[in-house]
Amino acid sequence: MKIFLDDVRDPPDDSWIICRNVPTFLLLARQCTESDMLSLDHDLGDESPLNGYDAISCLEHEYALGHIWTRGVPMILIHSANPVGIQKMTQAIQSIARIKDLCIKCKSNTA
């Protein structure tokens, strides 16, 4: 599954599922596995109280608690033009990667 969060732009091709808001994106993103891809924009228009950082931050929190992605973390891409938003989202993605590495180390230490 490939999920594209953006309020205006369309995904690069028809293989992507487009989400125009964070709640819809989260419903789908929670079902992803390591073979899936997420691509997020930061700014989602004036009508949306949530942005791409809110979405990735929510997923980061749920992953840290072990509520999602028990079968692997999907590839996460950013396609935003907002430099501050990109920086914040990158930090959240890096946090997910650190959590993933800790989980792998814990599993290998108990084996």
Cα–Cα distance list, 80 to 33, 34, 39, 90, 92 (Å): 23, 22, 9, 11, 15
Mean pLDDT, contiguous 10-residue spans, the chain (111 residues): 97 97 97 95 94 97 93 94 96 91 56 49
Whole-angstrom distance, CA of residue 52 vs CA of residue 21 = 9
| pLDDT at residue 47, rounded to an integer | 87
**Owner of token pair 């899936």:** 36
CB count within 10 Å of CB 5 equals 29
pTM greater than 0.75 (yes/no):
yes
d(CA 102, CA 16): 30
pLDDT number for residue 41: 98
95: helix, strand or coil: helix
Q: What is the predicted pLDDT for the residue at 42?
A: 98
